[in-house]
Amino acid sequence: MIDLELAQDDRQRAALALLKAMEDRTLRDHIRGACTEDVVWANSGIPTLNGQQAIFDLMDGGGFARMIPILREMTAFTADILHIASNGDAVFTERVDHHWDARGRDLMTPHICGIMEFRGDRICAIRDFYDVACYAQEPREPA
């Protein structure tokens, strides 16, 4: 679970808040206030989303599960933040994302290096880099 107390400055707090909105299922509303209209969201192995409307269109059409079949069963998301750092207009996170199904299985667990760039106080770019082998991962049963 995302702990906003890990943040050491306002930009780090904003980056963590975006990830927390993914956990809380409030991402759409959060993007409206936290991101620029022309925000770019890039993930390894899938097309880059250009602008808030492209993100909302993807959400309305089934989300990332349209491109990553293992996510079709996802009912919850959490992330473990391993490291966070900022430099100028960029916040870097090393994290492990978890995509849960209703049975408590961890469907996909990418180890991610993420970068969020800011223009002023708003996020203008989200880029997540990871091994796309996770798209074919076998779900992990609950402990």
Q: Does residue 68 belong to any structural domain of this protein?
A: yes
Q: Does residue 54 belong to any structural domain of this protein?
A: yes
3-state DSSP call for residue 45? coil
Q: Would you state the pLDDT for residue 1?
A: 85
Q: Residues 89-105: what's their mean pLDDT?
A: 97
Give the count of domains, the chain.
1
Residue 76 scores a pLDDT above 90:
yes
Q: Does residue 143 belong to any structural domain of this protein?
A: no
Average per-residue pLDDT in the chain?
A: 96
- Quick one: residue 51, left, alpha or beta (phi over 0 = left, psi -120 to 50 = alpha)? left
Q: In this predicted model, what pLDDT tens digit does every residue of 29-58 receive, in sequence order?
A: 999 999 999 999 999 999 999 999 999 999
Residue 142 scores a pLDDT above 90:
no
| CATH code, 92 | 3.10.450.50
Q: Does residue 42 belong to any structural domain of this protein?
A: yes
| 133 HSE (CA, 13 A, CB side) | 2
Range(s) of the domain holding residue 39: 4-136
| Amino acid found at 42 | A
Among residues 85, 64, 83, which one has the least CA distance to residue 132? 64
Q: Residues 80-99: what's their mean pLDDT?
A: 97
Q: Does residue 83 belong to any structural domain of this protein?
A: yes
**What stretches of the chain show up as alpha helix (H) in DSSP?**
10-24, 27-34, 52-60
Q: Would you state the pLDDT for residue 143?
A: 79
